[in-house]
Amino acid sequence: MTEAVSRNDFLNELKQRQQRVDAYLAAPRFRDWFGPDRLANAIFAYVKRSGKRLRPGVLLFACGAAGGEEEDALPAAAAVELFHTWTLVHDDLIDNDHLRRGSPTVHQHAADCARTVFGCSAAEARDYGRDVAVLAGDVQQAWSIALLLEVAATGRVDPALVVQLGRKLTAEVTPNLIRGEMLDVEYGFLPLASLSEREILEMLRLKTGVLYEFAGLAGACIGARRPPDNPGVGADIAAFTGLCGTAFQLQDDILGITGDEVALGKPVGSDLREGKRTTIVLHAFARASAAQRRFLNDVLGRPDVGAGELTAARDLLLELGGVEHTAVLARAYLDRALQHLEAVPESRYKALLRRWADFMVSRSF
C-alpha cells in the first residue's frame, strides 16, 4: 500500500522541486543568451518570482512514479515551467493585468521604464510595454523548446523520445492552448445565454488542462523510457494530470472571486472587470432574476467598475450558487482524475501525485 503523505510533507517536497528548477533556470549560461538588458530583464522577470511550480513539480513526480530518476527529467521540468511562463506574459497583456505574483506585470513594468528612462508619453509607454511583453514571451517559448531538447544531452534518454515530446509540445499543446486562449477572448464578446457549460469547460481544458497533461506525459515517458505514442502507464498519468489541470483552472476561477488579493498576488475581481465567461457566472446567470441579470451584464466587462459594485457582484454569484457549483465541478474532475491514478504502481511518488491532486482544488493561492 502507498504510504500516506501529509500536506506539509507534500509542500516541502514541492518546494524542493521548485528550488531545483529555479536553480536550473538561473544558470549563468542562460543569461548570456539574451539581450539587450531591458529585454533580458523582462524574460527573467517571472522566472525570478516565487511561484507554485505545480507543472514542473508534477512532471518530476510523474517521472519517479514511472520508475525513472528525476534528474533525467529536470531539463523537461524547467522547460514546462518556462513554457507556462511565456503564456503568462502574453495572457497578462491580453487581459490588461497590472500585477503578477504581487509585482508589476512584464508589460506594466516595461511601460513604467519607458516613462522614466525614455521620457515617453503614456501612449508611447503603453506601446513599448506591449512590444516588450510580446518579444519576451516569444523568446521564452523558444527557450522552453531548447530546454526540452537538453533532456537528450544527458546521454541517458533516447534522443528520438525527446524529439517526439518536442513535436507534441509544438504541434499539439501549443495550438490547443492558444485555441483555448482565443476562445476565452471571444467568449467575452458573446451573450452569457448563448454559451453552454460544456463549451466553457472545453475552453478551460484547452487553455490550462493540455499543458498539465503534457507535463504528466513527459515526466512518465522520460521515467519509463517509453515514447509518447506508446507511453504505457504514462497515458493514465497524462489523463490524471490533464483532468487535474482543468480542476485547477476551476479553482482559479473561484479564487478570482473569493480569494485573498495578497495571497494571490493579483487583483481579486479582475475576471469580472475583464468579462470572463466562467462556470461561476454562467451558473449564477441562469438562476438570476431579470434585475440581477441586468446588474451582472452591467458589471461584467466594465474596466471602470467600482469596488462596491464588484463586492455586490461577488455576493450575488455566491448567493446564486455559482461558486458552490464550480467547486462541485472541480471536485468531480478530481475524482475522475484519481480513477486514472489507480493504474499507477504503488510508491511514494504515487502518494505525492495524489496529494498534488488534492492541492489543486484545496489551495487558497
Q: How far apart are CA 226 and CA 45, in angstroms?
A: 35
Q: For the chain (length 365 residues), average pLDDT per consecutive 10?
A: 82 96 95 94 93 94 98 98 97 92 93 96 97 98 97 94 98 98 95 96 98 98 96 96 98 91 74 93 97 95 90 95 97 97 96 96 85
pLDDT recorded at residue 265: 67
pLDDT recorded at residue 2: 54
Residue range 7-362 in CATH 1.10.600.10: yes
Q: Which three cell numbers stand for residue 43?
A: 524574460
pLDDT recorded at residue 52: 84
Cβ count near 134 (within 10 Å): 15
Q: How far apart are CA 244 and CA 336, in angstroms?
A: 9
pLDDT recorded at residue 261: 75
pLDDT recorded at residue 268: 76
pLDDT recorded at residue 222: 98
pLDDT recorded at residue 44: 96
Domain ranges, ordered by start, for the chain:
7-362
Pair type for strands 103-104 and 99-100: antiparallel
Q: Kindly give the interhelix angle for 7-25 and 54-65, rounded to the nearest 10 degrees.
A: 110
DSSP 8-state symbol, 49: S
pLDDT recorded at residue 240: 98
Q: Which three cell numbers stand for residue 120?
A: 515617453
Q: How far apart are CA 132 and CA 38, in angstroms?
A: 8
